[in-house]
Amino acid sequence: MRGLMMDAPLLITTILRHAERNHPDQEIVSVTSDHERHRYRYREFADRARQVANALDQLGAGSEARIATIAWNDFRHLELYYGVSGSGRVLHTINPRLFEEQLVYIINHAEDEWIFVDPAFIAMLEKVEDQCPTVKGYVVMTSAEAMPQTSLKNVQCYETLVSAQSTQYNWPELDERTASCLCYTSGTTGNPKGVLYDHRSSVLHAYGMALPDTTSLSATDAVLAVVPMFHVNAWGFPYASLLVGAKMVFPGPKLSVPETLTDLINDEQVTVAGAVPTVWLGLLDYIRKTGRSLEPLNRTCIGGSACPVSMMEEFRDEHGVTVLHAWGMTEMSPLGVLNRPKPAQIGLAGEELREQIAKQGRAVPGVEIKITDDDNNELPWDGEAYGALKVRGYWVCADYYRLDGTAGSHEDGWFETGDVATIDPHGFLKITDRTKDVIKSGGEWISSIELENIAVAHPQVQEAAVVGHIHTKWQERPLLVVVPNPGEQPDQGELLSWFDGKVAKWWIPNGVVFVEEIPHTATGKISKLTLRNQLEDYRFPDDDAA
């Protein structure tokens, strides 16, 4: 029997309508290349989003066109978030840090029709323009006065184009499964893969994200989205903030300038911010040196890579800021788990508390998690067993764009994250490795990440990586790769004895290699594939058969 409730689709424009009607005076503040501090209100933003939709119609963009952006976080990018998706088109956010060939690949794979670009990234596009036949033209996200010279063909100025449009637009009543955004993951192997979000998944993710045990967003919050809008939709903040009517603050091109971030936090009374650990490292360093305050800040959402416990403690003890340690993926919109206490965690202190906050957290309602062994048997939530992490839920991808059957098409409907994790009896997950980086020594698993965390704590080590390397007796053994601190020449034996008592004896690496640089991917992660290729000829000293 069917219920008799209204047929109201979960649409991004429903968020926009709610925001405009209920919070017309709420502010959106941005740093941009042409504004030191741009500010307007939801009511003007909603008008502008409708002008964007009209502009796309005028440009002749198809009803399902992929509209790309290569841009920093600011009000214009937000207008495109709502104007492009709201009109039924697909917003394709491009990471400007991609290698040139990846850039060309994804523009062609997505068949982008128009590219909206910040002035800073025009040069990048000029180089590849000839290789992108689907692109009909470019819109430079700036004002007429600030319009740069460019060799790009069919170029328009965003402000000239948008401000000429009507502020009226009838948003289509789309099917909620209509694609809204496309975001490519840049894996370490193969071509980037596109995750195609839809309106339903985006709206449900916004509800899940705003919950008290997630980021706890309210109309009295001011949200600083440092995490780029080309990086999994800035973790969903652009949707969740408008859903609840929060103030939004964008750093534009200054996203890694600690002084600007500190100014914004204090001037705009920012209560919530989201960024990867490296941004916070820089900010905390700046705060230590200048003695400036982070007083308005109440909590920071940290993900993208594991957050060091020392950083969480510094935020908590020095600034009264709660760190929301989280884990997710582009394929998960991105929220998977977030570390908020349950009653049993409230009283923890000392080492127990440190162990607790080092975990990435528990499943956000709407996401299911499990860990399995090599035979896909579910492993217990005992905090000890670790296995391949699989997820499913309302905002998890089922497949990649135009790569049918790559993801989530397993018989049991779970998405393989490629991560290895433990889950404790309270449901708190801890990522221990990437599936492809875990070291399989004589049939047992060794976590490369745990070894790296120990290595970087050594006073002579600047950066460290651990990879599984061929060993005749054990199939694979851990190999430690180290970039020493400037001027230091660590001793190999001393480095390895550093692990004594910190891990099981059989986990200790069998060799050390010193390098000047460790290779990284476009998103700043260690490229273990490149590293393994570089070390192909290495042989362990104890590998007799070598």
What is the DSSP track for 490-534?
--HHHHHHTTBTTB-GGGS-SEEEE-S---B-TTS-B-HHHHHHH
Q: Using CB under 8 A as the criterion, what x/- string covers residues 434-473 for binding a copy of itself?
A: ----------------------------------------
Closest contact distance (angstroms) between CB of 334 and a copy of itself is 13
Task: Check residue 106 for interaction with a copy of itself (CB under 8 A).
Answer: no
Instruction: Indicate the residue among 193 and 231 with the shorter CB distance to a copy of itself.
Output: 193
Sign of CA dihedral 176, 177, 180, 181: positive
Sign of CA dihedral 308, 313, 315, 321: positive
Closest contact distance (angstroms) between CB of 161 and a copy of itself is 24
DSSP symbol at 234: G
Beta-carbon contacts of 543 under 8 Å, excluding residues fewer than 6 positions away, are 471, 472, 473, 510
Task: Check residue 21 for interaction with a copy of itself (CB under 8 A).
Answer: yes
- Residues across the chain: 546
Residue 49 belongs to what H/E stretch? Answer: helix 42-59
Closest contact distance (angstroms) between CB of 383 and a copy of itself is 14
Task: At 538, list the tokens.
Answer: 């290495």
Closest contact distance (angstroms) between CB of 296 and a copy of itself is 13
Nearest 10 degrees: CA dihedral of 98, 141, 136, 127?
A: -40
**Sole residue written with tokens 């001793």:** 491
Out of 6, 349, 504, 545, point to the residue binding a copy of itself (CB under 8 A).
Answer: 6
Distance separating alpha carbons of residues 355 and 350, to the nearest angstrom: 9
Q: Using CB under 8 A as the criterion, what x/- string covers residues 231-270 for binding a copy of itself?
A: ------------xxx-x-----------------------
**Other CB atoms within 10 A of residue 397 CB:** 24
Out of 179, 223, 326, 338, point to the residue binding a copy of itself (CB under 8 A).
Answer: 179
Q: Which window, 140-148, 174-182, 260-268, 489-497, contacts a copy of itself (CB under 8 A)?
A: 174-182
Beta-carbon contacts of 26 under 8 Å, excluding residues fewer than 6 positions away, are 19, 41, 42, 219, 245, 246, 247
Angle between helices 199-210 and 237-244 (to 10 degrees): 70
User: Which parts of 24-43 interact with a copy of itself (CB under 8 A)?
Assistant: 25-26
DSSP symbol at 144: G
User: Which parts of 199-218 interact with a copy of itself (CB under 8 A)?
Assistant: 199-201, 204, 207-208, 210-213, 216-218
Whether 314 contacts 321, CB under 8 Å: no
Instruction: Indicate the residue among 240 and 451 with the shorter CB distance to a copy of itself.
Output: 240
Task: Check residue 343 for interaction with a copy of itself (CB under 8 A).
Answer: yes
Distance separating alpha carbons of residues 110 and 106, to the nearest angstrom: 6
Instruction: Indicate the residue among 30 and 180 with the shorter CB distance to a copy of itself.
Output: 180
Closest contact distance (angstroms) between CB of 4 and a copy of itself is 4
Out of 368, 416, 424, 450, point to the residue binding a copy of itself (CB under 8 A).
Answer: 368
Task: Check residue 113 for interaction with a copy of itself (CB under 8 A).
Answer: no
Residue 282 belongs to what H/E stretch? Answer: helix 277-290
Instruction: Indicate the residue among 357 and 479 with the shorter CB distance to a copy of itself.
Output: 357
Closest contact distance (angstroms) between CB of 486 and a copy of itself is 46
Instruction: Indicate the residue among 7 and 145 with the shorter CB distance to a copy of itself.
Output: 7
Task: At 175, list the tokens.
Answer: 């099917």
Instruction: Indicate the residue among 413 and 541 with the shorter CB distance to a copy of itself.
Output: 413
Whether 388 contacts 416, CB under 8 Å: yes
**Sole residue written with tokens 């991004």:** 12
DSSP symbol at 252: B
Task: Check residue 429 for interaction with a copy of itself (CB under 8 A).
Answer: no
Closest contact distance (angstroms) between CB of 432 and a copy of itself is 20
Task: Check residue 197 for interaction with a copy of itself (CB under 8 A).
Answer: yes
Which residue numbers are catalytic?
Answer: 185, 331, 440, 445
Task: Check residue 129 for interaction with a copy of itself (CB under 8 A).
Answer: no
User: Which parts of 348-367 interact with a copy of itself (CB under 8 A)?
Assistant: 362-363, 365-366
User: Which parts of 376-415 interact with a copy of itself (CB under 8 A)?
Assistant: 392-401, 408, 413, 415
